[in-house]
Amino acid sequence: MDQPEFYRNLGPFSLRQVADFLEAELKCLDDSYLIQDFNNIDKSKASDITFLNDNYFYHLDKIKADTLIVSKKNKITSNTKKNILKVDNVHYAVAKLSNYFFKCHDNDFISSLRSPNLIGKLNNLDKTAIISNGAVIGNNISIKSGVYIGYNCVIGENVIIDNNSVITNSIIGDNVQIGRNCSIGQSGFGFTINKTGNEKIFHKGRAILQNNVQIGSNCCIDRGSFNDTVIGENTYFDNMCHIAHNVEVGNNCVFAACTGIAGSAKIGNFVLAGGQVGIAGHIIIGDRVNIAAKSGVFSSIKDGETVMGNPAVNKSKFIKNYKKNYERKTN
Q: What is the pLDDT along the chain (331 residues), one digit of tens a residue?
A: 446 789 999 999 999 999 999 999 999 989 999 999 999 998 999 999 999 987 666 677 788 999 999 999 887 655 678 999 999 999 999 999 999 999 999 999 999 999 998 887 777 899 999 999 999 999 999 999 999 999 999 999 999 999 999 999 999 999 999 999 999 999 999 999 888 889 999 999 999 999 999 999 999 999 999 999 999 999 999 999 999 999 999 999 999 999 999 999 999 999 999 999 999 999 999 999 999 999 999 999 999 999 999 999 999 999 888 888 776 666 5
Return the H-helix or E-strand segment holding 95. Answer: helix 90-101
Q: In whole angstroms, what is the distance from residue 280 CA to residue 299 CA?
A: 7
pLDDT of residue 45: 95
At 131-181, the pLDDT tens digits run 999 999 999 999 999 999 999 999 999 999 999 999 999 999 999 999 999
Task: Catalogue all structural domains in the chain, each as residue range(s) with its CATH number.
Answer: 8-103 (3.40.1390.10), 165-317 (2.160.10.10)
- Catalytic residue, candidates 91, 242, 245, 282: 245
Strand-pair category, 260-261 with 242-243: parallel
In angstroms, the first-to-last Cα distance of the chain is 64
Which among 87, 159, 146, 82 has a CA at the least distance from the CA of 119? 159
Question: Where are the alpha helices (H) located in 13-88, listed in sequence order?
Answer: 15-22
Query: Is residue 242 among the annotated active site residues?
Result: no
Which among 87, 92, 89 has a CA at the least distance from the CA of 67? 87
pLDDT of residue 78: 53
Which among 65, 5, 63, 11 has a CA at the least distance from the CA of 36? 11
Q: In whole angstroms, what is the distance from residue 26 CA to residue 320 CA?
A: 57
DSSP annotation string for 192-243: EEETTEEEEPPP---EEE-TT-EE-TT-EEPPPSSS-EEE-TT-EE-TT-EE
